[in-house]
Amino acid sequence: MTVQIAGVASTPFGKHPDSSTRELFTDAALEALEDASLSVHDIETLYVGNFVGDVTDDQAHVGAMVADYLGARQAASMRIESACASASSAARSGVQAIESGDADVALVGGVEMMSASGIGEITDALANAADNEYENEAGLTFPGIYALMAQTYMNEFDASQEDLAAVAVKNYENGVSNPLAQRQEETDVESVLESPPIATPLNLQDCCPITDGASAAVLVSERYADEHGLGTTVEFAGSGQSSDSLALQDRRDLSRTRAAERAAETAYERADVGPDDIDVVELHDCFTIAEILAVESLGFFERGEGTRGALEGETAADGRIPVNTSGGLLAKGHPVGATGVAQLVEITKQLEGRHPNQLDDPTVGLTHTVGGSGASCVVNVLRTGGA
């Protein structure tokens, strides 16, 4: 039984000072339901990704909260937490519920309200995705963690800050035409290098912004789509998830993300595709180095050659393997609990031919979402096809 994507939606990413967690998620959910031609009463199960709500909002039990506010009290509801991969994990849970026959209609998504918190508070909250005993207590933050990974990669493969900056330049350019993106402005290598230093070698424009936002997708069984005439055109082809050591000190190699490698291998196998079959990718570029590590982990480049992607235009919208046509986390933004399904929204729009940076007839797309510094990773493969 294949799982179909019946409707998708994201709120604009950025600052939403007049909204709340429950309101933002409801906005995305209602738009996704309208896109699917379904109502809240059709939802049988609801999975919502949310990472730091119990810290920033002083609110746990987020699944029941959003189901209540949405008007879907009949649905089985659950909050899913896997750091920045929370929404992708929520989507996998929805897929598994349908594949198992437990449900025919699942609403999956994610939400995060981050901007109302002070920079110190949100930095501390995000640090919960690292190892508190061995990393946080030693003073590491996530920019510092990814800076260590960047330094290792640069030393091992003779890469430069200019190589990192090329990723930001590409993704900022893609974000300009995306009405949902938080940063809708171009940049250049010089501007990235001259932006304020955060954690050497990462500067401000190497880092994704603090973001509020929500995303949602309506998943249905192929039988349900057929019986209700939904006319779905995109389906889940395969999904993979894996883990790694929480702390960097326990990794064999800081210049690769093994959880992503394993998750990709599983997703490719289940979808019966390989890297060469992928037409468009939305991946986890929380920092510029993260995109370089990701394109290698996903098999698009050999180890040590990932910098070629942005530098030589291979990952540009008109390149060999377009990556982050939405602008990615760097430009579109990163409301951590919502990002994974937001990536599915972007890929679905590409496959349906309605993306602001539309490619020529893509048929297979991939999403890649990393939790923390790579301790968890979800890879999903979507393709055209439907009931």
CA 93 to CA 1: how far, in whole Å? 15
Report yes or no: 104 and 90 within 8 Å, Cβ to Cβ: no
122, 125, 130, 135 alpha-carbon torsion, rounded to 10°: 80
DSSP letters spanning 313-350: TTTSTTSSS-B-TT-HHHHT---TTTHHHHHHHHHHHH
Report yes or no: 342 and 88 within 8 Å, Cβ to Cβ: no
Cα 20 from chain centroid (whole Å): 21
Annotated catalytic, 284? no
Annotated catalytic, 84? yes
Measure CA of the first residue to CA of the last residue in the chain; give whole Å. 11
The CA–CA distances, whole Å, from 196 to 42, 201, 202, 205, 206 equal 49, 11, 9, 8, 10
Amino acid at 20: S
Of 23, 117, 29, 14, nearest to 72 (Cα)?
29
User: What is the DSSP pairing of strand 213-221 with strand 3-10?
Assistant: antiparallel
Catalytic residue among 284, 334, 355, 368: 334
Report yes or no: 15 and 41 within 8 Å, Cβ to Cβ: no
CA 239 to CA 344: how far, in whole Å? 12
Amino acid at 168: A
Catalytic residue among 84, 207, 208, 286: 84
Of 131, 110, 2, 105, nearest to 66 (Cα)?
110
Q: Going by C-beta distance under 8 Å and a sequence separation of 6 or more, which residues neighbour residue 310? A: 163, 166, 167, 169, 170, 291, 316
- Both tokens assigned to 6: 């019946």
Buried b (16+ CB within 10 A) or exposed e, 102-133: ebbbbbbbbbbbbbbbeeeebeebbbbbbbee
CA 355 to CA 279: how far, in whole Å? 14
The set of catalytic residues is 84, 334
